[in-house]
Structure 1
Amino acid sequence: MSAHPTGPRVDTLVDAARSRLVRVTPEQAAHAVTYELALLVDTRPAEDRARYGTIPGALVVDRNVLEWRLDPTSPHRLEQADDPRRTVIVFCNEGYASSLAAASLRDLGLVNATDLVGGFHAWAAAGLPVAGPHAAA
């Protein structure tokens, strides 16, 4: 009996998710939020937000309820999740889990869901606004 699973590896799933997305750089995300009313959604655990800081204005949505909060047809949606055509930019720490999350949102019909290349750490490295511990680094 093999110790390796026979299904696709997580890297394969991430690659497949990304092939369906038009991923954005930190600078593109900042522009979209400022000028195009895009939603920037932080799915990182509370521990990471406390350790590294946050992006001002980003919505915090736990990954385990992301689909319910952003599906415009869900009775549990956030007020801002009002249009399936609205651009939603999901981010995690480095941009891997967010690719899977954005693909899931696309499966729900959010046609402009995408994620942030490099995640929170790329945003901070680009010198874009960060609140909290990372801002002082």
Structure 2
Amino acid sequence: MSAVDELLARARRKLTRVDPAQAAALQEAGGLLVDIRYAELRERDGAIPGALIVERNELEWRLDPTGAHRAPEATGHDLPVVVICNEGYASSLAAVSLHDLGLHRATDLVGGFQSWRRSGLPVEPPPIGKELND
């Protein structure tokens, strides 16, 4: 097992990961979906309606409920947060980072945005001129 595979396995042992239906239910109940994919992927594939867009390099600053640069949606340490990357790898590491900030209910989406899309849940289309699966 590579070092990064071991890092990922350790991270995932700290999380109760969710599938797309569970993530949608958490969002419906007031939880926050956070899309950390970079702009090119969102432009290519679209986005989850209502998800907060925060690219990975800004995540901790925007989700720290005590920070000066927090997003208005970062209302407290008890907020359920589901981090979403493209395929469900980087999001696991990011969710553990949020745990380190005290967001103890943070987790990630198994399979990432691609699993959300395959499950048939709503997706906002890419901007005009962009096609799904270019």
How many residues are treated as equivalent by the alignment? Answer: 129
Q: CA deviation at 1:135?
A: 9.2
Structure 2 residue runs of 5 or longer lacking an equivalent are none
Q: Is the 8 A contact 1:53 1:135 kept in 2?
A: no
- Alpha-carbon separation, structure 2, partners of 1:117 and 1:33: 15
Matched residue type, 2:19:
T
Structure 1 residue runs of 5 or longer lacking an equivalent are 1-7
Verify: 1:13 aligned to 2:15, yes or no.
no
Q: CA deviation at 1:59?
A: 0.4
Instruction: Specify which of 31, 39, 44 is matched with residue 46 of structure 1.
Output: 39
Instruction: Label 1:31 to 1:135 Cα distance change in 2 as closer, same or farther (>3 A).
Output: farther
- Alpha-carbon separation, structure 2, partners of 1:96 and 1:73: 27
| Equivalent in the alignment of 1:5 | none
Q: Is the 8 A contact 2:44 2:132 kept in 1?
A: no
Which is higher, the Rg of structure 1 or of structure 2?
1
- Alpha-carbon separation, structure 2, partners of 1:68 and 1:26: 26
Q: Work out the percentage of aligned pairs sharing the same amino acid.
A: 57
| Equivalent in the alignment of 1:120 | 113
- Secondary structure of 1:114's aligned partner: strand
| Equivalent in the alignment of 2:103 | 110
RMSD over equivalenced CA pairs, Å:
1.6
Verify: 1:61 aligned to 2:54, yes or no.
yes
- Alpha-carbon separation, structure 2, partners of 1:98 and 1:50: 19
Using structure 1 for the length normalisation, give the TM-score: 0.90
| Equivalent in the alignment of 1:28 | 22
- Secondary structure of 2:26's aligned partner: helix
